[in-house]
Structure 1
Amino acid sequence: MSPSPPHPARDTIPVGDIELHDNYLPALPAGDHRVEVTHTLWTGGGKTFTAVQRFTVRGPQVAIDTAAVVAKQPPDASSGLYAEVLPHLVLGDPMLPWERAVRGAPAGTPWLALLVLTDDQLVGGTTAPTRTITGTVGDFLAGDPAVLKPELAVEADIGDTDPCAYIQVAATEFHAVAPRLEELRFWTHCRGANTGDRAILGLKEDGLFAVVVANRFPATAGSTAATKNIVHLVSLEGHEKILVDDPDFQGRTSVALLSLASWSFWAYPDRQADFADLAEGLTRTPDGDQAGRDEMWLRLASPYQDTDGTPAPRRQVARRLNDGYLPLPYLTRSGEATYAWYRGPLTPVLPVATAQAARATTADALIGYDPAWGTFDMSLATAFETGRALAVADAAFAQHLLELKHAARHLVDTLYHQATSTHLPQDGDGPDTARAAFGLLLGGDLLTALGTPPARPTAPWSPPAPAAPPADPTQALDDFLRSDATREALTGALADGDGLKEHLTPVARWLGRLMLLHPVPFTHLVPDERLLPQESLRFFHVDPSWLDALVSGAFSIGAQSSRDTLQDQIVADAVRSAAARTAAAHRDTLRGDTSGDPDAATGAPTEAGDGLGPVTGLLLRSALVSGWPNLAVRAAAPDGTPLPVLRMDHLAPTVLLCLFGGLPAMVELREPQEGFRFGVEDHGVIPLRNMLPPDSPTGRRLGEQLGADVTFPVLDHLRTGTGGRVLDIGSLIPALTAALETAHGTTLGPIGPADLAMQMVKVPEAVHFTGPDGDRR
């Protein structure tokens, strides 16, 4: 996949909006090129000199990177009501469909097309789910009297032994479903979208995408049974001659096409497993009832009631479970097998922060014990040991942390010797180092004094008496470490480029990721599968004390004495503050956002309480995650202000974790903007949308529906004489143009690929969770 050119789409387009463009053309298409220069000397008989330089612009030709495919709709291996949906594929490289020239077609014609096929239309490839045939480029291009091969000029950097995948389509079926050469440009367009509300999937996302749409609606059996549909992204390069109304297949019975991507899905005549049904299923209990707000939190349902009439032991269990705890087996150090309560960092209740978690130096100091019930609470102790284990397991971080601690120790030693030296003034007005003191001597009459004969001493000389050592050196150093001056010096050095900052930066980055729970095992977050069953959505708060204990454990490695422990406590506040700022900027850093101060994340704390603030989030376990990998998730404060997304990651193919900076009043799950579906509404019509700019007399936004009753019958414009429902662009575009001009009351001009996409797009579906009572819509 070629790198996408820089584009401000992801930051300039508001979240929820999209830009549509007809295409994104390269300055020079891929392929073999030559530059010829001719120079004629008019003197000497008009002699001509010619130089030729050949070169190749590399671009995908027989295969594309799998990472180039951002989304497929309908999702791979899914099933649902897809009969009125045009399948499409989203590419992360917005220029890819136009990188190669198509012979006999104007600029802006893509070399790719999306074919929707059924098993009976394909030949061979019976061992693959999508009927692809794997082989080499030489195998694909080898002559075959029964198969029409493309007239493909293979680039110089592609060899006969290079691997490729291809399909064979029956010749009559290819003619029935393949777009005509003049239709190709209408089925591919470029789209811009803000990518700030979806997971980072390893792409260098700049907000631009290419979308290739099929020209055929999926096949359905017309009964309760599902019909398998196979979709292939194929190269049409070399097949231009048969993309006409009356093609000559040269007596061949099938056509070979390079398959660059493929997937399959099942189309039902009734509603099953589409976005709306999956999203609605998240709001229901296993019994099918509407879930209440209490049932959407990350916790187990309690078998007991927390009421006055419940026996005290059962009421205690109900309270613990309602607070997000789980009883887990626990073996005490004395060998007794019992149980202990455990709650991870994701809690259903707003936890009360405790300062002890940030000051702890051992896990034992964080073990909770309830003498009334004789039970242990191992939550914070587990967090401490988790942080310590993760730090020890990461050799690079351990090295950076030890270097920071050694540098801080050296600085403290220097400051202490300066403070206790008898050779330097203690009033703070003189030099603070021996070198500086000697430098002052050189600035006086030292050379003159050295040239003068020494005078005979008049009094006997005696060496100066050394300063009396402190009665308790350990206590003296302890007092020095606890002094405000030492704290200020250490904090300043952590923010100073010439001090400890270079050691702080890698430590703060690692701890910042730790505060976002990146390396924490999933079993520590969700210790029981019943907390997050299949097809469920659970909300939570993030326990700041659990995070403090986690960081304390990681920061505790390398402490060998009480002096190290005290020094760590002094430095820890500044390190935690820097780590919190790094965590807050972590997602922007991954997305390449350099608009902020690059040094701000690891500088000194700017104010008291500098940190992440309250963190909340959600866990989604659903086919929505695998079916819509770029699922958009947004959260808003009570005043409607969007909350920052601190982390959004796929923990598993069907599990999505989102962390928000703040407490949301509304959370929305929405189909991604670049993954909009195309198709028709009920009865085969589409609502017509405004194509005039906002400053037009209508005052409508671009793309806004013109009215509930202003529609256009798309299914009236299908190819005749074909078994599948294939759209006829030659009939569709003129009729659609006339209908739009009538609805707008003015001439609009020619309809392009972006205009067609805007009219054919189906409004993305979404589910909202709002209000204090857990209202959903």
Structure 2
Amino acid sequence: MTPGPQHPARDTIPLGDLELHDDYLPALPAGDYRVEVTHTLQIGQEFTARQNFTVRGPQVAIDTGAVLARQPPDGSRGRFAEVLPHVVLGDPMLPWERALRGTSRHTPWLALLVLTDDQLVGGADTPTRTIAGTVGAFLASDAAVLKPSLKVEADVGDADPCAYIQVAAEEFHAVAPRLDELRFLAHCRGANTGDRPILGIQEDGLFAVVVAGRFPASSTTPTQNTPTQNTPTQNTPTQNTATKNIVHLVSLEGHEDVLVADPDFRGRTSVALLSLASWSFWACPDPQADFADLAEGLTRTPDGARAARQDMWLRLASPYQDADGTPAPRRQVARRINDGYVPLPYLTRSGEATFGWYRGPLTPVVPVTTAAAAQATTADALIGYDPAWGSFDLSLATAFETGRALAVADAAFAQHLLAFKHAARHLADTLYHQATSNHLPQDGDGPRTARAAFGTLLDGGLLTTLGAPPSRPTTPWSPPAPAAPPADATGSLRDFLSSGATQAALAEALAEDDGLKEHFAPVAQWLARLMLLHPVPFTHLVPDERMLPKESLRFFHLDPSWVDALVSGAFGVGAQSSRDTFQDRIVAAAVRAAAARVAAAHRDTLRSAVPGDQDPGDQDPGDQHAHDQHSGQHVSGLLLRSALVSGWPNLAVRALDADGAPLPVLRMDHLSPAVLLCLFGGLPAMVELREPQEGFRFGVQDHGLIPLRNMLPPRPLGEQLGADVTFPVLDHLRPGARRVLDLGSLVPALTAALEAAHGAAVGAVGPADLAMQMVKVPEAIHFTGPDGAHR
């Protein structure tokens, strides 16, 4: 993708709002150019300089990450007959980077074609009927296939791979947009991306959208190419039919001559087009792939009943009741499971096979913190044992071992950690020798190092004294006697390291460029990612699949003790003696505080909201108040396992506090194509899942109508003019049964309807205006209350 100019959309547009632009034109479209400068002297002599250059742009293929969203989602099945498919591109300039012959710069070179199997030729071995080949083979003359008149750029070779499709000539003419319609089928959007997973999104907040000019084909009768569903479900009929629709993002460059009302295909029976992206979906009465139905399904149990609040916490369903009358052992099991624990096999060090309770860092209850997790030096120290029931709690011990294993597995981090510890030990030894040496003043007024003492001598006139005539010493001189060693050397060192002055000196060195900062920064940054659970295996987060079944949403609290034990295991790598262990404990508070600051800004750093990497030394890492503030922050979150994640990969997730202010998003990542993890800084009063602003749908409502939206001040732009102020879009289709928009008829009629509704002239209706009128408001679902209530 070609990066566009920076745009402040993500900072200036409120969450949930959207900007629409007709286009986003590059300074120069792709192509070959020549700059010629001529300078004429007064005597008539001319000097001319010429410079040739080429502006490169995608031509036969686009980057795999260029497509951010497809609607309807790939492979989905739902009520899509009244939806116009579209694709969201991360490069806002891409549709206008190339120019079509005989058109203005506002005409895109890309189009979205909605096709069915019977309209395509060849490619039967691929789901979207795409044909793989080379550029040379694609452009080779064929008496039966119309190829584009394409002048490939110099960096494109005949042997380069490409993908293309062949459409029957008659069908191409029926569904392809005309040249004068293309500009209405692409526009640019600006949106705030703060509530979206990163996913390689260009963080200037601008996106290009290419919309199809055809509604999907649908059928109510089974056909040879239409699968049926015969399994009754709670929300579907006993038998539904579906029609497969195939969508291709194609290049129209070189096909300008046939994008007219009466094209000449020169005897060819099909048309070949470069396919830059493709997907397929099924249009049918089945609602299971609609956003609203999928979102509503999150609030229901597998049997279709409304889920209770306690069912939406991340935990197993208990087979027993925690109630009076339940036998004590079963009640204990119920309490453990309700608290998020899972019984797992456990083999003790003595070889006995038993079971242990395990709970990961994501808990359904507010966890009780323990200082032991941050002070542990071994996993065994964190094994809990309940003598009343003879059971083990291995949660924190597992966290410690996980942190240690992850640290050892990352060679770069282990190297940085050992270098940091070595430098910290060297500094501590230096400070200790300075404090115990009797060769330097001990009252704090004199120099504290040999270098400083030598500098004091120079400043005191040593060179002048050396230049004077020698004189005999008046008093005898003898070297100072070495200080007697402390009676308890280990205790003396321990007391020195524990002193406030030593801790302050170490903390100061962590923030100084000529101190420990060089070694400290990469350690703090790695530990920050660990605090956000980035490298932690998924099975440690969700130890039993039943805790997160398909099509489910589960809320949780983040257990700070589990995270402390995780960091203790990682930071304890490389300790070789009790001195190392004790010193690690001295600097651990500063390290954890710095890592917490980096973790809090980690997502903003990825989104480039803060310049460069977050520097752990920007704030005094020894500030105990800062440490307490970060360590005391309540972190909560959710796990979503649903087709919402795969179908809407940039799904918007927002968490609001009791005052309606958004909570900071610490992490929002796809753990798999269908699983989304979100961590929030605080306890939300409401969580919202919403279709992304840049990816919501176009289409019509029941009976082919759209509500007209305001285009003139002082009323808000885009506000519906009234419940009954509508426009019949389906009255403006091309003749035939393919449901293709006739934009030449639609745009003038829509303009007239808008002027009648406003009672004033609205001006020319452009691509952004058409998009605003055709858009279907993004759907959303709210979950209110800290205990996961939903509505």
TM range (shorter): over 0.9
Secondary structure of 1:407's counterpart equals helix
Residue equivalent to 2:659:
639
Residue equivalent to 2:61:
63
Residue equivalent to 2:75:
77
- Whichever residue aligns with residue 719 of structure 1, its letter is R
Residue equivalent to 1:732:
746
Structure 1 Cα separation of the partners of residues 544 and 102 of structure 2: 62
- Long gaps (5+) in structure 1: none
Structure 1 Cα separation of the partners of residues 184 and 751 of structure 2: 14
Secondary structure of 1:649's counterpart equals strand
Residue equivalent to 2:706:
686
Go from structure 1 to structure 2 and tell me whether the alpha carbon gap of 1:79 and 1:552 turns closer, same or farther (over 3 Å shift). same
Shift of 1:442: 2.8
* Residues 651-670 of structure 1: pairs in structure 2 closer than 5 A: 651-670=671-690
Residue equivalent to 2:182:
184
The partner residue of 1:337 within 353, 360, 384 is 353
- Whichever residue aligns with residue 244 of structure 1, its letter is V
- Whichever residue aligns with residue 321 of structure 1, its letter is I
Residue equivalent to 1:303:
319
* Residues 696-711 of structure 1: pairs in structure 2 closer than 5 A: 696=714, 700-711=715-726
The partner residue of 2:772 within 758, 763, 767 is 758
Matched, 1:747 2:757: no
* Residues 256-335 of structure 1: pairs in structure 2 closer than 5 A: 256-335=272-351
Residue equivalent to 1:525:
541
Secondary structure of 2:522's counterpart equals helix
Structure 1 Cα separation of the partners of residues 58 and 461 of structure 2: 79
Residue equivalent to 1:616:
636
- Whichever residue aligns with residue 547 of structure 2, its letter is L
Is the 2:683–2:786 Cα contact (8 Å) retained in structure 1? no
Secondary structure of 1:650's counterpart equals strand
Shift of 1:271: 2.4
Residue equivalent to 1:430:
446
* Residues 540-579 of structure 1: pairs in structure 2 closer than 5 A: 540-579=556-595
Structure 1 Cα separation of the partners of residues 49 and 147 of structure 2: 35
Is the 1:37–1:52 Cα contact (8 Å) retained in structure 2? yes
Q: C-alpha root-mean-square deviation of aligned residues, in Å?
A: 1.8
Shift of 1:450: 4.0
Is the 1:92–1:205 Cα contact (8 Å) retained in structure 2? no
Structure 1 Cα separation of the partners of residues 40 and 460 of structure 2: 80
Is the 1:115–1:234 Cα contact (8 Å) retained in structure 2? yes
Structure 2 Cα separation of the partners of residues 732 and 776 of structure 1: 41
| 1:610-639 residue CA offsets vs partner (Å, 9 max, x unmatched) | 315111010011111110101011000011
Structure 1 Cα separation of the partners of residues 148 and 757 of structure 2: 44
Go from structure 1 to structure 2 and tell me whether the alpha carbon gap of 1:415 and 1:660 turns closer, same or farther (over 3 Å shift). same
Residue equivalent to 1:242:
258
| 1:284-336 residue CA offsets vs partner (Å, 9 max, x unmatched) | 11111100110000000111111121111000000000000011000111110
Structure 2 Cα separation of the partners of residues 466 and 175 of structure 1: 100
Structure 2 Cα separation of the partners of residues 406 and 72 of structure 1: 52
Shift of 1:55: 2.5
Go from structure 1 to structure 2 and tell me whether the alpha carbon gap of 1:756 and 1:462 turns closer, same or farther (over 3 Å shift). closer
Secondary structure of 1:723's counterpart equals coil
- Whichever residue aligns with residue 500 of structure 2, its letter is D
Is the 2:598–2:614 Cα contact (8 Å) retained in structure 1? no
Structure 2 Cα separation of the partners of residues 451 and 587 of structure 1: 65
Shift of 1:754: 0.1
- Whichever residue aligns with residue 25 of structure 1, its letter is L
Go from structure 1 to structure 2 and tell me whether the alpha carbon gap of 1:467 and 1:732 turns closer, same or farther (over 3 Å shift). same
Structure 1 Cα separation of the partners of residues 359 and 286 of structure 2: 43
Go from structure 1 to structure 2 and tell me whether the alpha carbon gap of 1:359 and 1:607 turns closer, same or farther (over 3 Å shift). closer
Go from structure 1 to structure 2 and tell me whether the alpha carbon gap of 1:221 and 1:458 turns closer, same or farther (over 3 Å shift). closer
Is the 1:582–1:602 Cα contact (8 Å) retained in structure 2? no
Residue equivalent to 1:94:
92
Residue equivalent to 1:492:
508
Secondary structure of 1:611's counterpart equals helix
Secondary structure of 1:341's counterpart equals strand
Shift of 1:549: 0.3
Matched, 1:586 2:584: no
| 1:509-539 residue CA offsets vs partner (Å, 9 max, x unmatched) | 0000000000000010001111111111100
Identity within the alignment, %: 80
Secondary structure of 2:403's counterpart equals helix
Residue equivalent to 2:225:
none
Residue equivalent to 2:781:
767
Secondary structure of 2:596's counterpart equals helix
| 1:431-457 residue CA offsets vs partner (Å, 9 max, x unmatched) | 111222233233335455445665556
Residue equivalent to 2:134:
136
Shift of 1:38: 5.5
Shift of 1:462: 5.0
Go from structure 1 to structure 2 and tell me whether the alpha carbon gap of 1:690 and 1:457 turns closer, same or farther (over 3 Å shift). closer
Is the 1:505–1:602 Cα contact (8 Å) retained in structure 2? no
Secondary structure of 1:736's counterpart equals helix
Structure 2 Cα separation of the partners of residues 523 and 773 of structure 1: 24
Shift of 1:458: 6.7
Structure 1 Cα separation of the partners of residues 162 and 786 of structure 2: 55
Structure 2 Cα separation of the partners of residues 495 and 155 of structure 1: 52
Is the 2:642–2:674 Cα contact (8 Å) retained in structure 1? yes
Secondary structure of 1:306's counterpart equals coil
Shift of 1:604: 2.2
Go from structure 1 to structure 2 and tell me whether the alpha carbon gap of 1:424 and 1:165 turns closer, same or farther (over 3 Å shift). same
Residue equivalent to 1:382:
398
Secondary structure of 1:66's counterpart equals coil
Shift of 1:597: 9.7
Is the 1:217–1:725 Cα contact (8 Å) retained in structure 2? yes
Secondary structure of 1:191's counterpart equals strand
Go from structure 1 to structure 2 and tell me whether the alpha carbon gap of 1:531 and 1:445 turns closer, same or farther (over 3 Å shift). closer
Secondary structure of 1:705's counterpart equals coil
The partner residue of 1:122 within 120, 123, 138 is 120
Shift of 1:54: 3.1
- Whichever residue aligns with residue 753 of structure 1, its letter is P
Residue equivalent to 1:370:
386
- Whichever residue aligns with residue 98 of structure 1, its letter is W
- Whichever residue aligns with residue 732 of structure 2, its letter is H
Structure 2 Cα separation of the partners of residues 52 and 487 of structure 1: 67
Go from structure 1 to structure 2 and tell me whether the alpha carbon gap of 1:463 and 1:774 turns closer, same or farther (over 3 Å shift). closer
- Long gaps (5+) in structure 2: 222-239
Matched, 1:396 2:412: yes
Residue equivalent to 1:8:
8
Matched, 1:18 2:18: yes
Is the 1:357–1:546 Cα contact (8 Å) retained in structure 2? yes
Residue equivalent to 2:167:
169
Is the 2:439–2:480 Cα contact (8 Å) retained in structure 1? no
Is the 2:72–2:85 Cα contact (8 Å) retained in structure 1? yes
Secondary structure of 1:329's counterpart equals strand
Structure 2 Cα separation of the partners of residues 456 and 97 of structure 1: 93
Secondary structure of 1:166's counterpart equals strand
Matched residues, number: 769
Go from structure 1 to structure 2 and tell me whether the alpha carbon gap of 1:623 and 1:601 turns closer, same or farther (over 3 Å shift). farther
Structure 2 Cα separation of the partners of residues 611 and 599 of structure 1: 16
Go from structure 1 to structure 2 and tell me whether the alpha carbon gap of 1:499 and 1:601 turns closer, same or farther (over 3 Å shift). closer
Secondary structure of 1:305's counterpart equals coil
Go from structure 1 to structure 2 and tell me whether the alpha carbon gap of 1:452 and 1:56 turns closer, same or farther (over 3 Å shift). closer
- Whichever residue aligns with residue 271 of structure 1, its letter is P
Go from structure 1 to structure 2 and tell me whether the alpha carbon gap of 1:459 and 1:5 turns closer, same or farther (over 3 Å shift). closer
- Whichever residue aligns with residue 766 of structure 2, its letter is G
Is the 2:378–2:400 Cα contact (8 Å) retained in structure 1? yes
| 1:536-555 residue CA offsets vs partner (Å, 9 max, x unmatched) | 11000000000000000001
Shift of 1:248: 1.1
Structure 1 Cα separation of the partners of residues 434 and 547 of structure 2: 58
Structure 1 Cα separation of the partners of residues 423 and 787 of structure 2: 53
